[in-house]
Amino acid sequence: MSYTVVIPTIGRANLDQLLTRLAELMQPVLVVDDRPATGAELRLPDTGASVQVLRSAGRGPAAARNVGWRAADTEWVAFLDDDVLPGPDWAAQLVHDLHGLGADVGATQGRIEVPLPGHRRPTDAERGTAGLATARWITADMAYRRAALKRVGGFDERFGRAYREDADLALRVIAAGYRVVQGQRHTVHPVRQSGPLASVRAQRGNADDVLMRRRHGSGWRERIGDGPGRLRRHLLTTAAAAVAVGAATRRHPRVAGAAGLVWAVLTTEFAAHRILPGPRSAGEIGRMLVTSVAIPPAACWHRLAGELRWRAVPPAIGVPAAVLFDRDGTLVHDVPYNTDPAVVQPVPGARTALDRLRDLGIPVGVVTNQSGVARGLISPAQLQRVNTRVSELLGPFQAWSVCVHGENDGCGCRKPAPGLVKDAAGQLGVPADRCVVIGDTGADVTAAAAAGARGILVPTDRTLHPEIQAAAEVAPDISTAVELALSGRVGP
Q: What is the DSSP letter of 186?
A: E
Q: State the DSSP string of 437-472.
A: EEESSHHHHHHHHHTT-EEEE---TTS-HHHHHH-S
Strand partners, 479: none
33, 326, 440, 444: the catalytic one is 326
Determine the residue type at 344: V
Determine the residue type at 238: T
Instruction: Check residue 482 and give its pLDDT.
Output: 92
Among candidate residues 193, 148, 190, 194, the one with its CA nearest the CA of residue 172? 148
Instruction: Check residue 215 and give its pLDDT.
Output: 86
Q: What is the DSSP letter of 20?
A: H
328, 423, 440, 444: the catalytic one is 328
DSSP-based helix, strand, coil % in the chain, nearest 5: 45, 15, 40
pTM of the model: 0.70
Instruction: Check residue 349 and give its pLDDT.
Output: 96
Q: What is the DSSP letter of 132?
A: G
CA distance 68 to 4: 9
Q: Is 328 a catalytic residue?
A: yes
Q: Are the CB atoms for 411 and 405 separated by under 8 Å?
A: yes
Go through the domains of the chain in sequence order and give each one's CATH number: 3-193 (3.90.550.10), 195-314 (no CATH), 322-487 (3.40.50.1000)
Instruction: Check residue 364 and give its pLDDT.
Output: 94
Q: Is 359 a catalytic residue?
A: no
Q: Which long-range contacts (CB under 8 A, 24 or more apart) does 423-429 make?
A: 423/367, 424/322, 424/324, 424/365, 424/366, 424/367, 424/399, 424/400, 425/321, 425/322, 425/324, 425/451, 425/453, 427/365, 427/398, 427/399, 427/401, 428/321, 428/322, 428/363, 428/365, 428/398, 428/399
Strand partners, 187: 86, 112
Contacting residues for 186 by C-beta, under 8 A, at least 6 apart: 86, 87, 90, 93, 110, 111, 113
Among candidate residues 479, 438, 481, 485, the one with its CA nearest the CA of residue 152? 485
Among candidate residues 88, 306, 50, the one with its CA nearest the CA of residue 187? 88
* pLDDT tens digit at each of 492 positions of the chain: 799 999 999 988 899 999 998 887 878 999 999 998 766 788 888 877 788 999 998 999 999 999 999 999 999 999 999 999 999 899 999 999 999 999 889 999 999 999 999 999 999 999 999 999 999 899 999 999 999 998 888 999 999 999 999 999 999 888 877 889 999 999 999 998 888 899 999 999 999 999 999 888 878 888 888 888 899 999 999 999 999 999 999 999 999 999 999 999 999 999 999 999 999 999 999 999 999 999 999 999 999 999 999 988 877 767 788 999 999 999 999 999 999 999 999 999 999 999 988 877 788 999 999 999 999 999 999 999 999 999 999 999 999 999 999 988 989 999 999 999 999 999 988 888 889 999 999 999 999 999 999 999 999 999 999 999 999 899 999 999 998 888 755 444
